[in-house]
A and B are shown apart, each in its own frame.
Chain A
Amino acid sequence: MTTKNSLTQSSMPLYPAKTKIQVTIIFFVVLGIYTFSMIWTQDEMVGGFGGALGNMYTVIEKFFPPNFTILPTIWKAMMQTIQMAIIATTIAAILTVPLAVLSAQNITTLKPLYYITRTFLNLLRTIPDLVLAVIFVGLFGVGVFPGILALTVFSLGILAKLISETIESVDMNPLEAMRASGGNVFQVIWYSLVPQIAPQFTSLVLYVFEINIRASVVLGMVGAGGIGLVLNQHLKFYNYPNAMTIIIVIFATVLIIEFISNKIREALL
């Protein structure tokens, strides 16, 4: 009995040898790149880790206690950030509809149109929000407007991609039935596509809204308005207790918005 058992074990390993070798090679390649990038990124580091925790402690200590007396002044900037995100998300949600439909393989039967839209969206998504903000600030000057534009373009790329994927995964039977009974393109989209994707559409728009709130912190750093602008000013003047208050406010706002949109999402899906 025991010999039979050992026989089956030796003749039938859990994974074939080829897979084992492949996995080992991939593991060492990943480890090699990792080691190399650790050496590269720590190249300019002076002082090493010795003081790291100490430094961090000294600095974090400077951030406390947060100065809550500035709350009334930053309240307005936080509201501005939320408003920027609302406007940008709304515009992006409207613009995304034609783009998402055109870049969904199962709706757009005209192949060149599909490839053009898809490539355009892929290019759009590669540009970081910061670069968009820098360019728009260069064009329109410091203010809320370039921030809104940057957020709109940035979220358009993400939203159109996500929604076109949702459209590609819908049940095609109602669409075919509509077409067979003589509905035109717009009727097909309105009566059989829209009802299928409406819940996901709302959910994704809310998700992008959350992303926009976070992104507007970055945008403020380069002068595109909102709470980031105020945070940047306080950090530049080494006004750490004030900066800490702003960080806490951002933290709380993000959590609250995430909570609300999770509740809405649960009700929808």
Chain B
Amino acid sequence: MENLQLPPKQDKSLLKKVRAIIITLLVVALYVWTFTSIDVDWGRAIERAINNFHRVIPRLLSPDWSAAGEVGAKMLETVFIAFAGSLMAAVIAVPLSFLAATNMMGGKIVSTIGKWILSAIRAFPDLILAILFVVAVGPNAFAGVLAIAIGSTGMLGKMFSEIIESIDMEVVQAMEASGANKIQILFYGVIPQITPEFLSYAIYRFEVDIRASSILGIVGAGGIGTMIIFASSNRNWNEMGMILLSIIIVVTVIDFASARIRRKIV
């Protein structure tokens, strides 16, 4: 049985060992800090949960069908907000992504500026954008469309620029060598390579935006979120059940459809 033993492990260098120890200590310190300074009132939370359980859960599971029409209309509005917003974002993101891609506009400075613009847009949570647009165009669904459009532009622009960076540059070089101008290279060398993936990501973003636009209503930017806030402040859990059901159905259907379309495109 002597020869049945594990192969010898590679010796790790001292630097790596020290680094691993430091990282471990940092992580442990982070957790100690987190769990010692967070204040959760367990007694009160459990007491309230026991009191509220029968008031919330059973009613959540028996949706209020009389509200179905109203909920359906708001859900449709949510889908429209997401659609208009993500389509706008997909269009705005294209020039920004060309700006941010390192292999397109030449200079490294330009692409760095483009990348900075995109990360600055991404750093704003959707909800804060929604607050700004509600102030600008009033509390209606269009504020939601604008918030979704700007919010998705940051993410889509980043994805698009990564796609552009991953294209086969030999095609572009071959076209350059045979004397094509910039416009020709763009239309015959670059666009055919990026179109399927651009479309796929735009459709995926629509999926994400359906989820995002369903919460914008809490700041007045239209969609189903408005009803979520009303139902929760009225403690109308039956209606909340109906809202939850409609969100689950719509999101599932759209996820399914978009997965099918994306599989066909790519």
Contact = CB atoms under 8 A, between A and B. Distances in A.
B256 to A, nearest CB: 9
Interface string B9-47: 000000000000000000000110111011111101100
A23 to B, nearest CB: 10
Contact of B215 (A44, A45, A60, A128): A128
B128 interface: yes
A235 B144 CA distance: 18
* Residue of A46, A90, A218, A235 most packed against chain B (CB within 10 A): A218
B83 A37 contact: yes
A217 B123 CA distance: 12
Given A41-B80, A143-B41, A130 B125 contact: no
A195 interface: no
Contacts of B247: 126-128, 131
Interface in A208-222: 214, 217-218, 221-222
Interface string A21-63: 0000000001001101110111111110100110110011000
A83 interface: yes
A33 B85 CA distance: 12
B244 A131 contact: yes
A138 B235 contact: yes
Interface in B220-236: 222, 225, 228-229, 232, 235
Q: State which size class the interface on A falls in.
A: 35 or more
Given A41-B222, A86-B34, A134-B240, A52 B136 contact: yes
B87 A47 contact: no
A79 B52 CA distance: 29
Contacts of B123: 251, 254-255, 258
Given A55-B135, A59-B132, A122-B255, A41 B125 contact: no
A140 interface: yes
Interface in A48-94: 49, 52-53, 55-56, 59-60, 79-80, 83-84, 86-87, 90
Contacts of A34: 83-84, 87
Nearest to B41: A143
Contacts of A115: none
Contacts of B56: 135, 138-139
B10 to A, nearest CB: 13
Nearest to B244: A131
B64 interface: no
B125 A140 contact: no
Nearest to B48: A141
A244 B68 CA distance: 39
Nearest to B131: A235
B99 interface: no
Given A217-B125, A250-B125, A56 B225 contact: no
A214 B125 contact: yes
Interface of B: 30-31, 33-35, 37-42, 44-45, 48-49, 52-53, 56-57, 60, 77, 80-81, 83-84, 87, 119, 123-125, 127-128, 131-133, 135-138, 140-142, 144-145, 211, 214-215, 218-219, 222, 225, 228-229, 232, 235, 237, 240, 243-244, 247-248, 251-252, 255
5 contacts: A38-B145, A40-B77, A42-B140, A45-B138, A143-B44
